[in-house]
């Protein structure tokens, strides 16, 4: 699976995802932060699932109806927990994410918000 890791996600997550067979790009390597909207648009253009700690991406996707290729939000996980949680979610919810789901990951639960149907 192709993944774009937000800069706020621990840099070690990329190595774990690559080891698990994913193609991962970490925004922390970029010279500057393009902003949430541009990052979400780039992930969508490149067919990448966006992984973040930031709830603003969900607002962009749900409230402002910005296109995306799936979002994983990690909530209150330490840097050491992020790698395993992210790899597990990408494996288990790959089909949902490919359809544009938003998956919220906490220590004690995972919530999957399926993609909304286009208006019309």
Average pLDDT on 29-50 reads 92
Q: Are 23 and 3 in contact (CB under 8 A)?
A: yes
Percent of the chain with pLDDT over 70: 97
pTM of the model: 0.92
Of 45-49, 90-94, 113-117, the poorest mean pLDDT is in: 113-117
pLDDT reading at 60 higher than 70: yes
Helix (H, G, I), strand (E, B) or coil at 94: helix
Spacing of C-alpha 25 from chain mean position: 11
Average pLDDT on 57-67 reads 90
Of 40, 51, 49, the closest CA to residue 11 belongs to 51
Spacing of C-alpha 29 from chain mean position: 17
């Amino acid at each position: 699976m192709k993944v774009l890791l937000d800069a706020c996600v621990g840099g070690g997550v990329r190595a774990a995802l690559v080891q698990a067979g994913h193609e991962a790009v970490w925004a922390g390597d970029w010279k500057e932060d393009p902003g949430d909207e541009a990052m979400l648009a780039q992930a969508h253009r490149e067919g990448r699932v966006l992984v973040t700690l930031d709830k603003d991406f969900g607002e962009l996707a749900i409230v402002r109806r910005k296109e995306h290729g799936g979002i994983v939000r990690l909530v209150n996980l330490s840097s050491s927990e992020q790698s395993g949680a992210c790899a597990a979610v990408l494996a288990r919810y790959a089909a949902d994410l490919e359809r544009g789901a938003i998956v919220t990951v906490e220590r004690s639960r995972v919530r999957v918000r399926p993609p909304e149907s286009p208006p019309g």
